[in-house]
Amino acid sequence: MSAPHAAHAVGIDIGGTGIKGGIVDLASGELISDRIKILTPEGGRPDDIIETVAEIIHRLGPDAESVPLGVAFPAIVRGGKTMSAANVSKEWIGLDAHARFGEALGRPLTFVNDADAAGFAESEFGAARGQDGLSLVITLGTGIGAGAVYNGTLIPNFELGHLEIDGHDAETRASYRAKERDDLDWAEWAARLQRYFETLEFLFSPDRIIVGGGVSKHHEHFLPLLTLDAPIMPAVHRNKAGILGAAAFAARAQ
């Protein structure tokens, strides 16, 4: 359920290769602006990324200036600080990123982990909307991102891609990058996903598992090969999930 005090919000999704942004209608979960994408500056240093975010907001026009702003980032986020760094500069580790963005942009904002933003997008606008219980939103891509939502409330910083399973960091075996790296066909990759998702079931007993990331558009090739107790389904929002979730999170937090 979107926040009652804002009809629109800006969402920014920062990734290791690209930074995307747009203005979101919080009632429908649709973009009401162009989806603007700029390549992540080489090295992924804080000042360069913040400058790129400012450029995206500028390109979105004056409508982006007076609405809540949410920024999703590929790191553990605790108290506004980035406690890790995935595919960006190590300068982010321990940085008070929330304050740094606020000072540079000259406006209040909400700062959230990118997988958490994707999970929240599915809760607000997608496959987990209106659902009770625990929804795990798992993003398969360069690594494995995880968002956990319980009865509509986000549980932050679920780093489920880094579970050790059979002596391996899970995402080194089951991410989409691992599929490409090891030249796996769908069935071979599904066997690895089976081991990963059955471990999640054992540990968390989710009510549903929602699979996102760009590969989820090919869900018919691998999800039917999985045998789990919980229903498993593709995410409604893929490349837009970080933008939508960041915007919704900002509106909820205002």
Domain match, 245 and 180 both: no
C-alpha to C-alpha distance for 173 and 167, rounded to whole angstroms? 10
CB atoms within 10 A of CB 45: 15
Q: Is residue 157 part of a domain?
A: yes
Q: 176, 141 in Cβ contact below 8 A?
A: yes
The whole domain housing 30 covers 8-116+240-253
Q: 101, 229 in Cβ contact below 8 A?
A: no
Give residue for tokens 């919080």.
Answer: 26
Question: pLDDT of 141-191, one tens digit each?
Answer: 888 999 999 998 889 888 899 999 999 999 999 999 999 999 999 999 999
What CATH number does residue 102 fall under? 3.30.420.40
Domain match, 151 and 226 both: yes
Domain match, 224 and 140 both: yes
Structure tokens at 208: 């549903």
Q: Give the mean pLDDT of 1-7.
A: 57
Domain count, the chain: 2
Q: 124 — alpha (psi -120 to 50), left (phi > 0) or beta?
A: alpha
Domain match, 22 and 77 both: yes
Domain match, 148 and 82 both: no
Looking at residue 99, its amino acid is A
Domain match, 158 and 108 both: no
Q: Is residue 143 part of a domain?
A: yes
Residue 140 has pLDDT above 70, yes or no: yes
Q: What is the pTM of this model?
A: 0.85
Band of residue 5 on the pLDDT scale cut at 50, 70, 90: low
Q: Is residue 125 part of a domain?
A: no
Work out the percent of the chain whose per-residue pLDDT is above 90. Answer: 85
Instruction: Report the candidate in 11, 54, 47 with the shortest Cα–Cα distance to residue 29.
Output: 11
Q: 143, 213 in Cβ contact below 8 A?
A: no
Question: pLDDT of 196-247, one tens digit each?
Answer: 999 999 999 999 999 998 899 999 999 999 999 999 999 998 878 999 999 9
Q: Is residue 68 part of a domain?
A: yes
C-alpha to C-alpha distance for 134 and 153, rounded to whole angstroms? 9
Give residue for tokens 């970080």.
Answer: 242
Domain match, 12 and 96 both: yes
